[in-house]
Structure 1
Amino acid sequence: MSDVDIVLIGRNEAQRLPAALAAAKRSGARLVYVDSGSSDGSPEIAEDMGAEVVRLDMSRPFTAARARNTGAAAFHDPAPYLQFVDADCVLAPGWIETAKDFLAQHQRHALVTGWAREEQPDHSVFNRLIDWEWRAPAGPIDACSGNLMVRRSTFDAVGGFDGGFIASEEEDLCARLASDGWALERLPEEMVTHDAGMTRLSEWWRRTERAGHGLAQLGAKHPGRRHTERLRAWLYGLALPVATLVLAVLWWPLVILPLAIYGRSWLSGYRTLRNTGTRPADARAFATLFTLAKAPVLIGMLRFYLRSMLRREMRLIEYRKDRA
């Protein structure tokens, strides 16, 4: 039996799924594919490729966290290590062995992740931004994406992912592991290639709104975590726009004051990006998106607060019609 079990999760990823499944199978690890209500034949594709398919119970709102937990529970004689992969990602050759060896040699570490890269960064500015975000520094971390390897014993000990999260469930898992004294690491190794397939501003906006929902949900469970980011969303997403409108009514030349704050924020982001080697055109575009992002982040936060107040279920905010 392999030392690693792979849980691959997806929804409407028929085009990408064969490559994701093939790469996972080449690793030699056992594999379970969990499908969250696909309408594009994804489960049948996985079955035709010989994968064990688990269909998520859709009587409840689906989340990536629920899908991952369901996949993990499908292994009745679990391996020591558990690798999670999203179906829009393809595992890099050698990653499974690299990650497993690291955890075997570092007994204080519960979780390890690596670098991702976008398959088509030149397809849109949004893809390039995501590609830039993937290249976070290697070393000790306090959060990561859903593509990760974790010790099965520690994963079970903390209760797996919180199925109520629609986003940031990975960071919640990291927070709980860290609070139990475990170390987390990002290796300077390629882990997956990713296909964001994002070409429209509306898709980026919805994806950022979902991130804001996760940010608020994370704050409700871990109040001290990413507190500054939530404050920035309130400042740039609400306080400054309101101030701009009020000053425009009182005496329009005063509008230059809040606009100058936005400009300073943009310039700071641009300089940081240029100092890290980002080419000028991308630095300008990324800095603009960083500044604009505070609005959808705040909308996502407000959506979480409203759902919580009304005791509504946390339903996924989908940024593309054909994907989760």
Structure 2
Amino acid sequence: MSIAAVVIGRNEGVRLQACLDALQGQVDRVVYIDSGSTDGSITRAKDCGAQVIALDMTRPFTAARARNAGVAALGDDVTYVQFLDGDCVLRDGWIEAARAHLDADPRVAVVCGRRRERAPHASVYNALIDAEWDTPVGAAAACGGDAMMRMAALHAVGGYRDTLIAGEEPELCLRLRQAGWQVWRLDAEMTWHDADMHRFNQWWRRNKRAGHAFAEVSALHGGPPERQWVRETRRAVLWGIGLPLAILVAVALTGPAGLVLLLAYPAQMLRLGLRRGWAYGVLTVLGKFAEAAGVVRFNIARWRGQAELIEYK
């Protein structure tokens, strides 16, 4: 039984070094997929003993395409594959815990654990991302970018969907579950993540990317019974586009009195803030405008037959 790791990255610098160093002795093989780095990442990876594949950047790049390239490079002699983003570091004990769970239940295709931010107190954005990673343990609908997967299950559903700009893991997990496989989140420490987010424009782009993912995946799987990300897409459109248009119409019809609808935004911030803190309330509501922009961007790209990567780092 063989366990390999597929790491994807672009210009991660010392974070990639830490990622690859932590894999030493943990897995049988490491494949690093590089997407146009200019910071010496390829040399770093080779020095760490990883098999390196540099993607052809004349074709549209996606993380899904990079992960599929890693799987293809592994061939057929690997039982389980640990996926990692280049800004993540594997925690001690995770490989053993994940392998034990997959060994114990052949119905399980994916296991993931607790991903934590390395510096949650460095910025309010890092803190919110750390909280986002803290999801319930047990049977799950999806995983994130870090997860261990059964290669047979991956092959059975055709791997990741290459063309997805974002949201490739939930989309893959949906197809796995539809095929009868299970996804589990374990009560175990899995990885450190380094978002290194300190500016609002990074937060904006991350939410824009999320909106694009909501729209793209719901376009693929928005029908019943899953209705994947339909609610999230509608919520982004409501708060980011629908309500602003309603305010403009109200002002045009009733004058300044129509501005009373603006109170819906602070009211929503207050409601969310009472549950999880003021920063969560304010940034979640502001993030709906970015998500709406991502929804619009997806629909324009689909109409044009083009797609562009959305990065926040």
Global fold match (TM > 0.5): yes
Q: Pairwise CA RMSD of aligned residues?
A: 1.2
Is this contact kept in 1: 2:5–2:27, CA < 8 A? no
- How many pairs were matched up? 308
**Which whole-Å CA distance do the structure 1 matches of 2:142 and 2:265 have between them?**
28
Give the structure 1 partner of residue 200 of structure 2. 201
Q: Does 1:318 align with 2:311?
A: yes
Superposed counterparts of 1:86-105, under 5 Å = 86-105=85-104
Q: CA deviation at 1:255?
A: 1.5
**Which whole-Å CA distance do the structure 2 matches of 1:265 and 1:180 have between them?**
39
Q: TM-score, normalised by structure 1?
A: 0.92
Is this contact kept in 2: 1:34–1:55, CA < 8 A? yes
Aligned partner letter, 2:2: D
Aligned partner letter, 2:255: W
Is this contact kept in 2: 1:140–1:183, CA < 8 A? yes
Superimposed CA distance per residue, residues 19-75 of structure 1 (whole angstroms, 9 cap, x where no aligned partner):
100111231331111111101110011111221111112120111101100011111
User: Structure 2 regions of 5+ residues with no counterpart?
Assistant: none
Superimposed CA distance per residue, residues 169-201 of structure 1 (whole angstroms, 9 cap, x where no aligned partner):
001101100111111111111110000011110
**Which whole-Å CA distance do the structure 2 matches of 1:166 and 1:227 have between them?**
17
Give the structure 2 partner of residue 34 of structure 1. 33
**Which whole-Å CA distance do the structure 1 matches of 2:82 and 2:295 have between them?**
30
Q: CA deviation at 1:222?
A: 0.3
Is this contact kept in 1: 2:29–2:50, CA < 8 A? no
Give the structure 2 partner of residue 255 of structure 1. 259
Give the structure 1 partner of residue 299 of structure 2. 305
Give the structure 1 partner of residue 270 of structure 2. 267
Q: Which runs of 4+ in 1 moved over 4 A?
A: none
Superimposed CA distance per residue, residues 113-154 of structure 1 (whole angstroms, 9 cap, x where no aligned partner):
111111111111111110110111111111221111111001
Q: CA deviation at 1:5?
A: 1.0
Give the structure 1 partner of residue 242 of structure 2. 239
Sequence identity, in percent? 44
Give the structure 1 partner of residue 280 of structure 2. 286
**Which whole-Å CA distance do the structure 2 matches of 1:315 and 1:308 have between them?**
11
Give the structure 1 partner of residue 158 of structure 2. 159
**Which whole-Å CA distance do the structure 2 matches of 1:130 and 1:94 have between them?**
23
Q: CA deviation at 1:260?
A: 3.0
Give the structure 1 partner of residue 78 of structure 2. 79
**Which whole-Å CA distance do the structure 2 matches of 1:43 and 1:120 have between them?**
26
Give the structure 2 partner of residue 277 of structure 1. none
Is this contact kept in 2: 1:78–1:152, CA < 8 A? no
**Which whole-Å CA distance do the structure 2 matches of 1:316 and 1:34 have between them?**
16
Q: Does 1:189 align with 2:193?
A: no
